[in-house]
Structure 1
Amino acid sequence: MRSTRRVLPVLLTVLGVLAAAGCTGIGTPTAPPGVLNIGLVQDVATWDTGQGHNGHRLVAFQPAYDTLIRREPDGTFVPMLAVGWGYTDGTNTTFSLRIREGVTFSDGTPVDAAAVAANLEHFRTANGPQAVQLADVAEVRTRGTDRVEIELERPNPALEFYLSQAAGMMASPAALGDPALDRVPVGAGPYVMDAAASVPGDRYVFRARPDYWDPALQRFDQVVLKVLTDPTARINALVSGQIDATQISPRNIAQAENAGREIVSWDANWAGLLLFDRDGAIAPELADVRVRRAINLAFDREVTIEGVLNGYGTPTSQVFGEASTAFDPALDDHYGYDPVRARALLAEAGYPDGFSMTMPLSTGLNEFIPFIVQPLADIGITARIESVPAQSSQAAIGSGRYPASFFAIFQGPTWVAVEQLLVPQTLYNPLRSRDPALDAMLDRVRAGGPDADDVARQMARHVTEQAWFAPWARIGTTNAIDPERIAVEPQIGQVIPSIYNYRPVG
């Protein structure tokens, strides 16, 4: 098996006092050369930060939108629009931020405490796909022009991380609520959209802001995001020189390498099935844990990794990755490949003849269909695949209309993973499953304390044994670049590098 590049994140915990004020590489470099052309795997449905997302969509927003906190490639947090932050009470429920002074949005509006508070309130009420990131916020207060306090109803160990992600993206308050924000972003980021040169659904052109507060982050004078949802279109654009960087299908690696392109890979996601319907509302069979365990036993993970991932992955039965305190190496092989035992479990559960269920799948992931359908058919389960456009795949997953789905999901710090997968209000728990035993563990992990890591591992084992998911692998993201034009540093916990990680060659 081909090994993937692994980088363990280092997460800074800033408790009790504000983080030290500072700048991140402010300088006066020479004029940034050239154009960075990135191939997007999904279109951007709206530039409204309230609908902001992580992964691919976070990177698409980065040219226009700075976040309050920035994550370095190794996962450490550094100042961006906030120069200091931290908890100011003993219960970890009052989080204070000091806002960088002298920064403006691209429309000239000041980036100040009032603007930040307006953005946080907008994100809380917009009901976007990552609304869970601020679900614990009770109140947002300003303290003068450069201080913001976030009052939490209960501690949230991931708040600092979230303020470097979708919840931390800042748009001009003058644009919030304006329908025009769907079409043209208005942020404080290093680039401004050239609306005249952009074609929705095809390409988005961004030009460097001459008055941006940190020119060291502007390594190119233009960033062009080209929408290429089809994997074949992406590889063709890459090898023909139309784009400099993109995420490609593992099956296209040889083609990319033969064209002189460089593969940059690191473990970022887990891939497999999400078994949403643990209460049997849509597919009654899934309410029985024996059925969910049978599904886990249906997949030959080694064959899947070689066949569809070109060896870029590590077999696993758990959804928590190596960056999480919940990670337990013993859980990687908790479910082996045993279709005979799987059929026996289905019979014990009362389904000797199997059953049928429908799952959505992004059109960009069609190559996975045989690796989903055939193993399930081998144990008697008929999986009906309903194709959905790539840009609608997450909406389909969160719709509550399906009992299960295949997807690849970021493996991050423990509480980030919890709020992505396990809590009732999250996108990837659309049928709002709950488990009293799990809830008790989550409360203990949330509160922290000396036994939090041990409880996190107990939580991971419980979720694995209850088969809420059927993971296949921790997958190596396969990004490809033109090494004659650009270089890039991987971003821990992100399937596509941040735009700040690219630099021109020569």
Structure 2
Amino acid sequence: MPMAEHRQAWLSLLVGLLGISAVACAPSRSPDHLVVGTKGAISSLDPAKAYQTRSLQLIRVLGDPLYALSDAGELVPRLAAAPPQVSADGLRVTITLRDGVRFHDGSPLNAQAMAFSLQRFRNGGGSLSYLLEDVASITVVGPLELALELQKPYAPFRNLLSFAGLTPVPASAYEPCPDDGASAEIKSAEIKDGLCLPADGFVGTGPYRLVSRRADGTQHRLERFDDYWDTPARSARIDLVSLENSTALFGALKAGEVDVLLSSSLEAEHQLKLEKDAAAGRFATASSPPQTIEVLALATDRPPLDQVAVRQALARALPRSLLSTRASQGLNTPLRSLIPDLFPAAQPTWPELDIDKARQLLAAAGYCQGNPLEVDFTYRSNVPTDGLLALTWQEFLAKNLGDCLTMQIDGLESTTVYDQWDKGAFSMVIYDWAPDFLDPENYLRPLIGCDEHEGSVCKEGDGVFWFDEEAAQLLEDQQNQPPDQRRGTLAALQERIAAGVPYIPVWQGRNRAWSQSSVTGLGYDGSGWLRLDTLGR
């Protein structure tokens, strides 16, 4: 497609998404009006239903959580007036709410409204309701005070209270779900209580309020909430528009039709170009703390990766710096832990590149000298960095360890990988993980948690089929320990996992955003959400 036609195609799409005139879309729009581009439609804004990152990002600016995380990872009260009070046995958490906060409809935030939202999140059966499954009861004990009783002590619970999905919405915003299926937008938000949040009916306490929404979830118009309890939003209006692919997003920002580009779904090539433009002063750029980890998952229950020595050899044969440079253009940074380095508990316990040691381990296991180990490696074919990583590693091994190890690579769509991973379909596969809320356990438990095992083989839990009694005990111990003791336990746990090598960490990634140079205030909060309320010209 010629460049002029290509530009006209995505411009027409953007105008259609905004539902406004081309003049309003142009870079000459009011200084108080910003257009933010992102990828993918938003299916639901019901906090008890939403699970997509893009949905939670919007909820975060339309509402407030009880707490937020500072840049240093400290818990900061938001709707809460003070830190949570935890009983000596760790089973009762008391929260006092901030006085004077109002919802967008003018009703006051109180303990009853907060309890309603927490109970609905816990009981509704949404994708993330398991986050509160260990909360035995939620009780209103005063106009601005509520108490949560836990079934067992849980150290990460404080950080869980910063999760964006726990933002309150008053009961009056909901309505009975229709039985006739007339409104697909409303029906899609139905959960167990029979109540639905109208598609354009989000009522929160945040710096912006929702004033309109396209039926397909591709455009949301926000206006500044004048009665916001904290610092008012800088811009009077924000249009959040959703585009389908990296090329459309990249082109929209380059042409000035979008003021801010919020997307970690851009191809590495586009991200690198924008970073270079930002370095030259043509755009502004910001990144979140590292939150996403990319790992190699090894099937430890079958040959050849059932041998610990073989897994340890693979860990020493991974050229992280080379892969970061060639496959991600340096946008992702090497990682030798299953916990990103934003946490003090992160320990680089996985070995560095050591080809000589890898060769020794493989030789001791009976390989090399005409008998190379054959390993199958599956990558996600629709993730550009995965394919480059696989090819680069395959080439590196052939050049530096070809007498001892040969690697066959195969690409499959992400949906297939995620569907088949825990069924034992892959010998070694790459995938990424980002938690629902930031806490070290939220990286470790999903990867090594095991519900049922036979000896050292996990039968119900993860896709690496690895179980270690000591690691399992350490994982449980850290749940009810004070911070200093917990850090020591988490360090010991990481050492244990690194010795067993069910996973090999590759790199850590960040969410990124870019804006026109005329826009200031671009930045992320400590939980990794873009601060839309600080954006302005």
Q: TM-score range by the shorter chain?
A: 0.7 to 0.9
Name 1:231's counterpart in structure 2: 246
Q: Which residue in the other structure is 2:485 paired with?
A: 451
Partner of 1:157: 155
- The separation in 2 between residues aligned to 1:121 and 1:286, in whole angstroms, is 45
CA-to-partner distance for each residue in 1:219-256, whole Å, 9 max, x for gaps? 22222222245333222222211222334534322355
* Residues in 2 aligned to 1:176 and 1:429: alpha-carbon distance in whole angstroms: 39
Residue 441 of structure 1: CA displacement? Answer: 0.8
Q: What do the CA deviations read for 1:422-460 (whole angstroms, capped 9, x no partner)?
A: 4358xx957886432112112222221453322211111
Distance in 1 (CA, whole Å) between partners of 2:221 and 2:510 is: 29
User: What is the rounded CA distance, in whole Å, between the counterparts of 2:52 and 2:285 in structure 1?
Assistant: 22
Q: Is the 1:107–1:186 Cα contact (8 Å) retained in structure 2?
A: no
Q: CA deviation at 1:94?
A: 0.7
- CA–CA separation in structure 2 for the residues paired with 1:51 and 1:503: 28
How far off is 1:370 after superposition?
2.2
* Structure 2: distance between partners of 1:76 and 1:262: 27
Aligned residue number for residue 109 of structure 2: 111
**1:264 counterpart = 2:279:** no
Counterpart selection for 1:206 from 219, 222, 225: 222
Question: Does 1:318 find its partner at 2:340?
Answer: no
1:51 counterpart (38, 49, 52) = 49
* Residue of structure 1 equivalent to 2:210: 193
Distance 1:358 1:159 in 2: 36
Q: Report the TM-score when normalising by structure 2.
A: 0.72
Task: Call closer, same or farther: CA 1:106–1:465 in 2, change over 3 Å.
Answer: same
Using the TM superposition, give the Cα deviation of residue 49 of structure 1 relative to its aligned residue in structure 2, in angstroms. Answer: 1.2
Letter of the 2:335 partner, please give it. Answer: T
Q: Aligned partner of 1:150: which letter?
A: L
Instruction: Give me the whole-angstrom Cα distance separating, in 2, the residues matched to 1:289 and 1:107.
Output: 60
Q: Distance in 2 between matches of 1:316 and 1:95?
A: 35
Of the candidates 244, 262, 272, which is equivalent to residue 251 of structure 1?
Answer: 272
Amino acid at match of 1:268: P
Are 1:301 and 2:299 matched, yes or no? no
**Tell me, which stretches of 5 or more residues in structure 2 are unaligned?**
1-29, 178-186, 188-195, 398-404, 452-460
State which of 407, 410, 419 in structure 2 corresponds to 1:384.
410
Alignment of 1:21-420 (within 5 A): 34-53=32-51, 56-107=54-105, 110-174=108-172, 175=174, 178=177, 179=187, 180-181=196-197, 183-184=199-200, 186-188=202-204, 189-196=206-213, 198=214, 200-214=216-230, 216-228=231-243, 230-245=245-260, 246-247=262-263, 248=266, 249=268, 250-252=271-273, 253-255=275-277, 257=279, 260-265=282-287, 267-275=289-297, 277-279=299-301, 287-290=306-309, 292-329=311-348, 331=349, 333-334=351-352, 336=354, 354=374, 356=376, 358=378, 360=380, 363=382, 365-373=383-391, 375=393, 378=397, 379-388=405-414, 403=426, 404-407=429-432, 409=434, 412-420=438-446
Q: Does 1:460 align with 2:494?
A: yes
Q: Alpha-carbon deviations, 1:75-120, whole Å to 9, x = none?
A: 4433322223423421122111122345444455553222222222
Using a 3 Å threshold, how does the CA distance of structure 1 residues 453 and 63 change in structure 2: closer, same or farther?
closer
Number of aligned positions between the proteins = 458
**Do the aligned residues in 1 keep the contact of 2:315 with 2:501 (CA within 8 Å)?**
yes
Equivalent pair of 2:45/2:55 in contact (CA under 8 Å):
no
Q: Secondary structure at the match of 1:60?
A: helix
TM-aligned CA deviation for residue 72 of structure 1 = 3.8
Structure 1 residues 336 and 163, CA gap change in structure 2 (3 angstroms): farther
The answer to whether the 8 Å contact 2:339/2:346 transfers is yes
Greater C-alpha Rg = 2
> What is the identity, as a one-letter code, of the residue corresponding to 2:224?
A
The reply to whether residue 471 of structure 1 matches residue 471 of structure 2 is no
| Cα pair distance change 1:432/1:205, threshold 3 Å | farther
Aligned equivalents of 1:383, 1:183: Cα separation in 2: 44
